[in-house]
Amino acid sequence: MISWGKSGPAQAEVVDERPRASLESGASSAVSSGASHGARHVAIIMDGNGRWAKKHRLPRAVGHQRGVEAVRRLVRGLGPMGLDCLTLYAFSSENWKRPEDEIADLMALMRKFIRSDLPDFVKNGVKLKIIGDYKVLEPDIVEMIEDALRQTANGTKTIAVALNYGSQQEIARAAAKAAEQGAVTVESISAHLDTADLPPLDLLIRTSGEVRLSNFLLWQSAYAEMWFTDVLWPDFTPGHLEEALASFAMRERRFGGR
């Protein structure tokens, strides 16, 4: 069982003594090493499915399908990278504003993904975690998710999927729970976030050239490094993640100190 330690800024204030590639190692050798360079937790805002479809003159739904294939490539390529957790923004609490048929397409893809890839998760020791209020999804998806959570409970690496997730809502829920139990502090809020049992966020990636957080992991990003790329999500490969990790390796993280 991996011990994540406590998450949140209170912990992030301490000096980061995790192993880090030396500056001399350079981006290209870092990429070929396939290591996480000390990063334990990476999160991705998977953006650009629609633009990918438009660029290829294909229906939007195909962009989302290719987006799922990018997720699958990444999950399968994760083993040698040495990450403990990868968090993926699959459906935000604001995505309900999209047309009904697009929401239905995304939910259908979710069902299909769980059905087809759950055996791989179990076989490879990957634990599924959901952040966000997934219980409002259609009952059959909730049931499939809960079955997947049970089947993968003993996994040692985590794929956290954000579903009906909004970071402001998560923080408000956590603060309310903290208040019910006593003092509202950084630590008590952190302890009630959906991510409380995950390692601190090291690196946040967003694809498609957009440079904003869109209500994703706002609290958890307090000291995370950011990596933005113009690559559209369906074109994202494990090689791009390695590139992001190589960039992470070059950053000097001071957590507010000097």
Question: What residues are annotated to the active site?
Answer: 47, 95
Part in contact with ligand FPP (CB under 6 A); list of ranges 14-22, 66-74, 220-228, 245-253: 66-74
Per CB under 6 A, 161 contacts ligand FPP = yes
Angle between helices 139-151 and 100-123 (to 10 degrees): 20
Least separation, in Å, of the C-beta of 204 and ligand FPP?
Answer: 15
Closest-by-Cβ residue to ligand FPP is: 50
Least separation, in Å, of the C-beta of 92 and ligand FPP?
Answer: 7
121: nearest Cα among 84, 77, 70, 75? 75
User: In angstroms, rounded to a whole number, what is the distance separating the alpha carbons of residues 220 and 162?
Assistant: 14
236: nearest Cα among 26, 84, 51? 51
- Long-range contacts of 111-117, Cβ-Cβ distance < 8 Å, separation of 24 or more: 111/140, 111/141, 111/144, 112/68, 113/68, 113/71, 113/72, 114/144, 114/145, 114/148, 115/144, 117/72, 117/75
Which of 7, 33, 49, 158 is in the footprint of ligand FPP by CB under 6 A?
A: 49
**DSSP conformational letter for 110:** H
User: In angstroms, rounded to a whole number, what is the distance separating the alpha carbons of residues 61 and 213?
Assistant: 24
Nearest CB to ligand FPP, comparing residues 12 and 46: 46
Nearest CB to ligand FPP, comparing residues 10 and 213: 213
Per CB under 6 A, 90 contacts ligand FPP = yes
Nearest CB to ligand FPP, comparing residues 42 and 161: 161
Part in contact with ligand FPP (CB under 6 A); list of ranges 88-96, 179-187, 191-199, 212-220: 88-96
* Gyration radius of the chain over CA positions: 18
Per CB under 6 A, 71 contacts ligand FPP = yes
Which of 43, 88, 131, 162 is in the footprint of ligand FPP by CB under 6 A?
A: 88
Per CB under 6 A, 109 contacts ligand FPP = yes
Per CB under 6 A, 46 contacts ligand FPP = yes
Nearest CB to ligand FPP, comparing residues 8 and 166: 166
Per CB under 6 A, 166 contacts ligand FPP = no
91: nearest Cα among 37, 34, 136, 30? 136
CA angle 151, 157, 161 (to 5 degrees): 70
Interface with ligand FPP by CB under 6 A: which residues? 46-51, 64, 67-68, 71, 88, 90, 95, 109-110, 113, 161, 208, 233
